Amino acid sequence: MAMNTSLLNGRLRMVLGFVVSLVVTIFGLLLVTFIIGRVVPIDPILSIVGERATQAQIEAARVALGLDKPLWQQFFIYVFNAFQGDLGMSIRTGEPVIDAVTRHFPATLELATIATILGVIAGVPAGVLAATRPGSMADHVVRLVGLMGYSMPVFWLGLIGLLVFYGQLGWVGGPGRLDAMYDMMYDFEVPQRTGMILLDTAFAGRWDMFANAISHIILPAGLLGYVSMAYISRMTRSFMMNELGQEYITTARVKGMPERRVIWVHAMRNVLVPLITVVALSYAYLLEGSVLTETIFAWPGLGSYITDALMVADMPAVLGGTVVVGVAFVALNMVSDLLYRLVDPRAR
């Protein structure tokens, strides 16, 4: 009975610590974005009323937005509204920022998810292959491909990809998520349950539109997947080489255990723990760092939305999008922490 009570208390403390850590992290994120919004040399009032507004109009707008209050009051109002899902109003469009973010984020999520899956499918086996044959031709090829993924600019790869595979060969769709004809049909004929075109068209049974969406997403997702693969393969190789030098691996080999089981069961079990962090960080990077790719491929995701808002000094939209990306980053770190406990019993 005492053991069960102790176990229950331990789990309660773990859940409480998880919740407190999440709240504190998001609070810190809101503090940083609030400070950035105040130190940026852009007056949001002038963006709203225009440079020809009278002083009375400027003061009236300042009072309406609560910018006449002390900074500490503005911050707590900002935090209170944010925890209720209110990220302010876009200066450019006049709509709630949360509505625009909700509309754009699924496109980024879809692109980043497919890219991460491609990166894991290609990167993990490539890293294992290189680690099990150090100094071989396979090792050199994996390291060279990874180095190219790190070195070549993403925007250059995107432009070359469009020129070759879309412009010259016609193997893939062009910029955007759908052809113009399907784009109009998607808005009126397909129930947008998730905002992700592949899922929505599959649920609706519109396989012609699904195929068209695949032709558009394969190039940007493949490009980002290549960048992700370069990082994942390099880290997998490093982790696996470290594990293959451990004594328990030597013992397993001496006992005559098949090499495939030694690598993919015993070594990979310990590699999975740090590899989860690598994949989570790669996924988070794609969610927040695919701005150039979205711009080149006219992909209407969150990165494009933030970039367009920044060009016209729409700071509520910029900061709101930044908060959402930050929350996604925090959530991915929390999920990876939970996966540790499932993969490694020692972390429970």
Report pLDDT digits (tens) over 68-127: 677 777 788 778 888 787 777 787 777 888 888 888 888 888 999 999 999 999 999 999
Question: How much is the pLDDT for 120?
Answer: 92
* Portion of the chain with pLDDT greater than 70, in percent: 85
Per the listing, tokens 């250059």 go with 156
52-57 contacts at long range (C-beta below 8 A, 24 or more positions apart): none
What tokens appear for 75 in the block?
């911050």
Residue count of the chain: 348
Whether residue 116 contacts residue 229, with contact meaning beta carbons closer than 8 Å, is answered with no
Strand partners, 89: 96
Per the listing, tokens 């997702």 go with 221
Query: CB neighbours of 89 closer than 8 A, spacing ≥ 6?
Result: 95, 96, 97, 316
Question: How much is the pLDDT for 4?
Answer: 58
What tokens appear for 335 in the block?
């999920």
Whether residue 48 contacts residue 91, with contact meaning beta carbons closer than 8 Å, is answered with yes
Question: How much is the pLDDT for 195?
Answer: 83
Question: How much is the pLDDT for 121?
Answer: 93
From CA 233, how far away is CA 129, in angstroms rounded? 9
pLDDT (tens digit, 9 = 90+) per residue, 142-185?
Answer: 888 888 887 888 878 888 888 888 888 888 888 888 887 887 77
Average pLDDT, whole number, for the chain?
80
pLDDT reading at 193 higher than 90: no
From CA 164, how far away is CA 170, in angstroms rounded? 8
pLDDT (tens digit, 9 = 90+) per residue, 48-72?
Answer: 666 666 767 667 766 766 666 777 7
Task: Provide the whole-model pTM.
Answer: 0.82
Q: Which whole number is the average pLDDT over 323-341?
A: 78
Residue 11 pLDDT grade (very low, low, confident, very high; cuts 50, 70, 90): low
From CA 283, how far away is CA 224, in angstroms rounded? 10
Architecture of domain 104-347: Orthogonal Bundle (1.10)
Question: How much is the pLDDT for 305?
Answer: 85
Q: Pick the residue with more confidence: 287 or 119? A: 119
> Exposure string (b/e) for 187-224, b if CB count within 10 Å is 16 or more?
eeebeeeeebbbbbbeebebeebbebbbbbbbbbbbbb
